[in-house]
Amino acid sequence: MKLITSPNSPYGRKVRIVLAEKRIDCELLLTDVNQPDNLALAHNPLGKVPVLLLDDGKPVFDSSVIVEYLDHVSPVSRLLPASPRQMVSAKRREALADGIIDATVAIMLERRRPQPQQSEDWIAKQRGKIERGIIAVAEDLGDKKYLLDDSYSLADIATGVMLAYLSFRVPELDWASQHPALAHYLERLEERPSFSETRPQAA
Ligand SMILES: N[C@@H](CCC(=O)N[C@@H](CS)C(=O)NCC(=O)O)C(=O)O
């Protein structure tokens, strides 16, 4: 298998952490999605990373489909619970974390447009998603060690990637000082080799 991703893609990082936790060997093919001839476009009509290329060359996207597939192909370190109710609970938390990342990316892209074309209303709308999302995650975690039944799962991987991405891309949001328990939770996650080996690097 091969994984097409970009160095700092949070969705790609989620997949890379899952690969590491499950000890699945996978070659990384790095591409720049801002280039017109990027590798993702050859395998995903949406031109987005990550894309997993199976051994027969078939592409799998997006990140939530990839991680669910990886959890099924290897029994090592199960990251999604077997019971449908618990499984959907983990996937809902993944969807919330991914949605917060989507809103963060939307703000970043808006800020790159020429100043007169930027919409403050649009940015405020995206910020609202991030702020409500973080409050929901903090309430969900409470004083637990992990989000789901106090055992490490895909919900923690997706949430940890999201929190680290917020600190990386919008440090001024300073979610950590408003939610110290969440900050401590991220610190613990970042100690795992799967997290520490996939940290985003300043461009
Ligand atoms: N929902 C997708 C989102 C993927 C995504 O937006 N990736 C970004 C990189 S972080 C991308 O490829 N952007 C290029 C584009 O939208 O053209 C997933 O979870 O894989």
84-196 shares the fold of 2-73: no
* Residue 2 bridge partners (DSSP): 27, 53
Ligand 1 center–CA 173 separation, angstroms: 22
Rg (CA), the chain: 17
- The C-alpha atoms of residue 5 and residue 27 are separated, in whole angstroms, by 11
Sheet holding 2-5, edge to edge: 27-30, 2-5, 51-53, 59-60
Residues 20/34, Cβ–Cβ less than 8 Å: no
* Residue 44 bridge partners (DSSP): none
- What's the sign of the alpha-carbon dihedral 106, 141, 132, 177? negative
Question: For a pocket test of ligand 1, which of 6, 11, 34, 63 has the largest count of ligand atoms closer than 8 A to its C-beta?
Answer: 11
Closest residue to atom 14 of ligand 1, CA basis: 48
* Residue 30 bridge partners (DSSP): 5
Index of the ligand 1 atom closest to the CA of residue 61: 20
Question: For a pocket test of ligand 1, which of 4, 30, 33 has the largest count of ligand atoms closer than 8 A to its C-beta?
Answer: 33
In this structure, whether the domain defined by 2-73 belongs to CATH 3.40.50.150 is answered with no
pLDDT at position 93, please?
98
Q: Which residues line ligand 1 (CB under 6 A)?
A: 6, 9, 11, 33, 47-50, 61-64, 98
pLDDT at position 202, please?
76
Closest residue to atom 12 of ligand 1, CA basis: 48
Q: pLDDT by residue for the chain (203 residues), tens digit each?
A: 999 999 999 999 999 999 999 999 999 999 999 999 999 999 999 999 999 999 999 999 999 999 999 999 999 999 999 999 999 999 999 999 999 999 999 999 999 999 999 999 999 999 999 999 999 999 999 999 999 988 999 999 999 999 999 999 999 999 999 999 999 999 999 999 999 999 988 76
CATH class of this structure's domain 84-196: mainly alpha
Listed residue (51, 75, 47, 44) closest to 1, CA to CA:
51
> Could you state, in order of their start, the residue ranges of all structural domains in the chain?
2-73, 84-196
Ligand 1 center–CA 193 separation, angstroms: 25
DSSP collapsed to 3 states, the chain: CEEEECCCCHHHHHHHHHHHHCCCCCEEEECCCCCCCCHHHHCCCCCCCCEEECCCCCEECCHHHHHHHHHHHCCCCCCCCCCHHHHHHHHHHHHHHHHHHHHHHHHHHHHHCCHHHCCHHHHHHHHHHHHHHHHHHHHHHCCCCCCCCCCCCHHHHHHHHHHHHHHHHCHHHCHHHHCHHHHHHHHHHHCCHHHHCCCCCCC
